[in-house]
Structure 1
Amino acid sequence: MASAPANGLPVFYNDLIPLSSVDHAAWRSRTVDSAPFLTTQHAIPLTVDEFVAAQRFVPIIFSAGDEPVPLALMGLNEGVNTFLDDEGKLRGPAYVPAYVRRYPWMLAKLRSDSDELSLCFDPTSDALGTFEEGQALFEDGKPSELTQGVLKFCEDFEQAAARTGQFMKDLKDLDLLMDGEVAIQVPGNEQPFVYRGFRMVNEEKLRDMRGDQLRKISQNGMLPLIHAHLFSLQLMRELFEAQVSQGKGPIAVPAAPQTADA
């Protein structure tokens, strides 16, 4: 559900190693109050389980490309996150996607010939290490309550990701996605600022669906998710205004955002 940087790892991850009761017996997890790795990320992968909660705070869009994924839009231009200050601290009320809350942990395959997933983490994270403070990852050689909770969270995330994959497949099969475009007119500017480079649900096709198709997406839970996505697009202007107020908005020439690719 995330674009892969040059190192082949998901977004945010600089390295990935399996958690070991031997190698990490003395390691602890400490609370951090900032996420500097997130300050320049404007679009975050989102699962369908989060649509209803997220749509109150961020526009929910779909990435461009052959395999689109849902994204929580936190800025309209690449490199801009309006919800965080320069230190990576939240400016105010916001929805933090599970993809972010999961970091630095994730479930990953250790062997190409096996589908088994192991709990891994990014060792470059400031949240994990041999600190004096924080909660232990292991107690008496066994995963601590904290580690068990992390594992459960990561398992739930993978299940939500699978449901999201099915949702996206259904959207494509129904041909409900179209190229998105948002035009924002600013007083004193002759031309509107036009944002493209993402996909969205085609409301006209949604209205024209056959009765049996509409009944299906209503019964399988897709319809409220689609509506959450469409309602959230009203936040585009608020996002634009937040960028401008933070001095990160367009100055003269309208620019288009570059959404994260799947």
Structure 2
Amino acid sequence: MAALMFYQEPTALDKKKHIDLKLNRTSDYSFASGVNSVPLGGVEFFHASRDFPILFIKNEKGEYLPMAILSLKSDSHDLGDDWKEAYIPAFIRRYPFAMTSERVIMFDAKAPHFESDEGEALFEGEDKPTETLKQIVGFLEQIDLGFRRTEDFSKALGEKELFEPYNATVKFKNGEVKMNDLFCINEKKLHEALDKDELQEWFNKGWIAWCHAHLHSLSSMPEIIKRQRKTLEEPGQPEEAPAEETKAEETKA
């Protein structure tokens, strides 16, 4: 599971200390405005593939991790604060809560979701969890399971040497953006690397479907270019830097 990148004050939820804590749900995702990619679970690939390219990064341990590429900007995206009409990854939707590998429920004590005395209580009676908290914990457990399954999937792809570098140059009128240090599945190798039993095993685990969803997602690159172009054309934005509409040049090493 990726680090708590949005959380200003990660705090372990304690039924004694936080008995009066109330949650105000919101569709404001401004807390994620400073990122251009987020981790993605394999079960999300199909939903996300319509809006974002799904590419793999390699961490300091040499592990491959799938990421939803939100933008070609270095530290932001063009989805606004409500992510209107775009898929919202579970990594975003779980905020302001998270669950550690030790299954400790965390929350961001500085999240605006807790700034009011009004909202949905998390505990009731003798410090018992409310239905709201039970639903939150269930969602976090589902996300945790999904990410662990995705780690197994990515590890298997790496062991089969099915990754290849993904290099792309996207040209704009005032310059270009180079995408490096990213990886995608080599479709030809995928079809050749698995024997009959492995193919059946991967199919049963849903991994074959995830592979195809990932490959399909690469055709979503024009979507993030389009969003960036639209943002640049909005009033108040620099007029000299709109993206060219069809100038994405993609190469794979």
TM (norm. structure 1) is: 0.80
Structure 2 residue corresponding to 1:218, chosen from 203, 206, 229: 203
**Distance in 1 between the 2:170 and 2:14 partners?**
51
1:106 paired to 2:91: no
Distance in 2 between residues matched to 1:208 and 1:117, nearest whole Å: 39
> What residue number does 1:117 align with?
103
- 2:38 paired with 1:33: no
Quickly say closer, same or farther: Cα 1:137–1:219, change in 2 above 3 A.
Answer: closer
Relative to its length, the structure with more helix (as a share) is 2
For these two proteins, the number of residue pairs brought into alignment is: 235
Match of 1:18 in 2: 12
Deviations 1:236-258 (A, max 9, x none): 12211221221297879x9xxxx
Alignment root-mean-square deviation, CA: 2.6
Q: Deviations over 1:47-93 (max 9, x none)?
A: 11111211122111111341121111110222131222xxx232x31
Q: Give the unaligned 5+ runs of structure 2.
A: 248-253
TM-score (norm 2): 0.83
> Deviation above 3 Å: which 4+ runs of structure 1?
183-186, 191-194, 213-216, 248-252
Structure having the higher strand fraction is 2
1:238 alignment partner in structure 2: 223
How far apart are 1:185 and its partner, in Å?
Answer: 5.7
Give the share of equivalent positions with the same residue, in percent. 28
Aligned counterpart for 1:44 among listed residues 33, 38, 41: 38
Cα distance per residue 1:194-248 (max 9 Å; x no partner): 4222111112312333543444433432111001001011011221122122129
Equivalent residue, structure 2, for 1:112: none
Distance 1:94 1:36, change over 3 A: same
User: CA separation in 2, counterparts of 1:177 and 1:81?
Assistant: 26
Residue equivalent to 1:133: 118
CA distance in 2, matches of 1:16, 1:184: 37
Tell me if structure 1 keeps the 8 A contact 2:52–2:223.
no
Structure 1, unpaired ranges of 5+: 5-9, 110-115, 255-262
